Amino acid sequence: MKIVFICGSLEPGRDGVGDYTRRLGIELVGQGHVVVLIAINDFHIKKDIVSNIDNGDGISILRLAPGKSYKERFARVKHRIDKFDPDWLSLQYVPFSFQKKGIPWNLDAQLEELGVGRKWHIMFHELWVGMDVESPVKHRILGIAQEYIAGKIIKRLAPKVIHTQSNLYRLYLERFGCKIEVLPLFSNIPVLHKSKNFKNDSVLTLVVFGMIQPGAPIMQFVNDLSIYRLKSNKKIKIQFIGRLGNELGTWVEAFQKENFNVHVLGEQGAENISEILSKADWGISSTPLYQIEKSGTVVAMREHQLPVYCVARSWKPRKIAQSIVQDLVKEYTPGELDFSLTADFKEQSNNLKKVSKVFSESLQYQKQYL
C-alpha cells in the first residue's frame, strides 16, 4: 500500500506522536509498503524541510514550518499527496499538534480538501482535556470545544478505519456512533534479556521507569512498603530509570527516609533498560489507571513480563461508568499493598513489528471489502 501519514510535528525526540509516526512508517516500509510522512505545523523549524529516511525504498518526509498561512501549507500538502497518489491518508490526531491552544476549528474542512475521493484513517492519540471528574472548570470548557471538533473531523472525513490506543478513548469515541478499533501502543524497549532465573527470592526489586507524574500518594505507598518489608522479611531495592522529571527528588527522599536501597540510574540505552526490567520483580508507574494503556514505559515493563503497580493521583473519567480492567496492572490503594498478583503472561504482542502488522491488516481488509 501507499500511505501518507499526516501529523503536527516530526522533530526527532521532541514530539511523541512524531516519533511514533516515524517509527511506524519505517517498519511499514520494511514490510513492503510505501510511506510519506507530512508534518503540517512543525513549530520546531523555521523553514520547510524535505528529506528522506534510507530504509528499503526509503520514506519521503515533508515538514512545514508554521510561518506560512494554513492555506499555503495545505496547498503544498495537497500537491504532494496528489503527486504520490496514496491508497490511504492517515491522520495522527492530537488537538494541540495542529493549533497551539488545542482548538483546530477548521481542521476538518482543510483535511477534507486534501483527501477528496481518498480513503481516510484516523489514529486518535489524544481526544480532549477535562474528561476526568477532578479537572478544573476551564479544562472542561476547553474539552467541550475539543470534543465537538473531534466529532466534526469524524463526520467530515468519514474515515474507513479509526484507531485509538486505549479502551477508555474507544468508549468516548463510540459515542459518535462509529466503530473504533484499539491499536495498542508499541514498546520502545525491545526484549533483549528474557531469563528470569537469576532472581533472588529474598530481595524484592521495584523499578520506577519513566516520567513521574505529580499528585501520587507516594508517602502512603512508602509507609505501606515499610510494613510489607517487616512482615515479609525481604530486602527491597528501588531502581529509577529514564527521564523521571521534577518529582524524582520527592520520591527518592521518601524512600531514603525509610532506609530503602535506592538506585537512581537515569537515562540508559535500550539494552541496559531491558536487562534492568528483566531482573526486576515489579514495575511502578505514576500514570493513572484509566490512562495507563497510553504509557510507553508501562508497555515496555509488561513486555518484559513485569506486573505493574499503579501509584498515581486520583483520575476518574466523566460520563463513563464502565471500568477499565488492565491485565497485570494493579491499582494501589493505601493500606492494601499486595505483591501476590500472579497471571499467565501472554506472548509479547505490543512490539513494533506486530502492532504495525495489525495496522496494515486493518487497512488492507477495508481495501478489499470497500
For residue 13, give the CATH number of its domain: 3.40.50.2000
- What is the pLDDT confidence band of residue 5, given thresholds at 50, 70 and 90? very high
- Which domain, by its residues, includes 156? 2-186+351-369
Give the pLDDT score at 367. Answer: 60
Look at residue 174 and tell me if it is in a domain.
yes
In a domain, 345, yes or no: no
Contact 324, 167 (CB under 8 A): yes
320 in the same domain as 260: yes
Q: Are 233 and 291 contained in the same domain? A: yes
pLDDT at 287: 94
Q: From edge to edge, which strands make up the β-sheet containing 282-285?
A: 261-266, 235-241, 203-209, 282-285, 308-310, 329-331
**Whether residue 72 is found in the same domain as residue 141:** yes
Residue 338: pLDDT band (50, 70, 90) is confident
Cell of 140: 472542561
d(CA 32, CA 192): 26
**Is position 23 within any domain?**
yes
- The count of structural domains within the chain is 2
54-58, 102-106, 260-264, 287-291: which range is least confident on average? 54-58
40, 113: one domain: yes
Query: Quick one: 365 and 219 in the same domain?
Result: no
> Percent of the chain at pLDDT above 70?
92
* Residues 172, 68 share a domain: yes
- Contact indicator for 59, 37 with CB cutoff of 8 Å: yes
Whether 289 and 357 share a structural domain: no
290, 160: one domain: no
Mean pLDDT of 95-120: 94
